[in-house]
Copies of this chain bind each other. A is one copy, B any other.
Amino acid sequence: MHSHYTSQLDTATGRIDLSHGGGGRAMSQLIAQLFIRHFDNPWLRQANDQALFEVETGRLVISTDGHVISPLFFPGGDIGSLAVHGTINDVCMSGAQPLYLTVGFILEEGLPLADLEKIVVSMAAAAGQANTPIITGDTKVVERGKADGVFITTTGVGRVAAGVDISADRARPGCAILISGSIGDHGVAIMASRENLQFETSIVSDSAALNSLVTDMVAAAPTAICCLRDPTRGGLAAALNELALASGVGMLIDERRIPVKPEVRAACEILGLDPLYIANEGKLLCICASPAAERLLEAMRRHPLGRDAMQIGEVTADPHHLVQMTSELGGRRIVDWPVGEQLPRIC
């Protein structure tokens, strides 16, 4: 039969070659036997170059994120689960509930199909858990040495409920600054796994989809949340500086209140890293009207991904938009923007 795919992808020993991106039979097989099979949903089965969905009048958000993490597999996840979590989190930092995902793969010739299948299975599981189907996608293949295994760009669409109005420019002096849990886990897990450090088994990435935590927070205080941001690249320091700049305010945080796991703190000392600047993939920063802070912390702590939530400081009036921190010894220092690149390809 010319038009039926009788041959099977060899996911045990096969490798990606240029024909898998050529638009012909090999690409169709890859799509059918790997992507459609695992992401299984009616949109993909329709075999269009786009997916169609119904909406009701209201506000949607869209977000896109490329993922180039190295190594592809790490303690607590892999590039596939990370690509799903990362984009879902960017969508829900607007207060939206994610609806759909799309995925663009850039594959390097020679990538073992077994690795790709593991990644696809992991993406499918992460998308399923977050109730956000992957409804369309694209695959490109480049020659050996022109990429690094696999890069994954995901895009997410979500819906913002009426009355919810969350944006980077809405922080006001007096607002409370909350964090959903300990910082630095993701970055340190990646570094440890790259460097083959002894403590690597005890530290795992916090990579997780935050949409159900956001749902609980929005339900607890629908109009009191001003800003949400997931402190990924550049860590808490970058996220606070971005929000300070966008809102035209300052921030004052208290080092003693910022949760850092002892093993992460120890690893940071060995590696010469500052947890404030290290990427997280399952934490959120929330800036809210001060009277709602306790209510939000309670809602966060009831959720498995917010158990260690803390208020870590407050928004100040500051024409220089500085982020400052009261240190454990009582002094005050400026938490500046990250400079240079400490941890390339952390996400």
Contacts and interface: CB of A to CB of B under 8 A. Distances in A.
Interface of A: 1-3, 17-19, 21-28, 46-68, 90-91, 93-94, 96, 100, 102-106, 135-143, 145-148, 151, 153, 155, 157-158, 160, 167-169, 229-230, 232-235, 238, 241-242, 244-246, 279, 320-322, 334, 336-345, 347
Contacts of A22: 233-234, 338, 340-344
Please tell me how many copies of the chain the complex holds.
2
A157 B62 contact: yes
A270 B210 CA distance: 56
Q: Secondary structure at chain A's binding surface: helix, strand, loop or mixed?
A: mixed
A337 B64 CA distance: 33
A50 B94 contact: yes
B90 A49 contact: yes
Given A3-B244, A46-B168, 4 more contacts: A22-B344, A24-B340, A47-B246, A49-B230
Nearest to A52: B61
Best-buried of A61, A104, A168 by chain B (most CB within 10 Å)? A104
B104 A47 contact: no
Contacts of A103: 64
A229 B50 CA distance: 11
A106 B21 contact: no
Contacts of A334: 2
Given A65-B104, A337-B25, A341-B21, A46 B137 contact: no
A245 B151 CA distance: 30
A64 B136 contact: yes
Nearest to A151: B106
Given A24-B234, A140-B68, A52 B59 contact: yes
Nearest to A142: B68
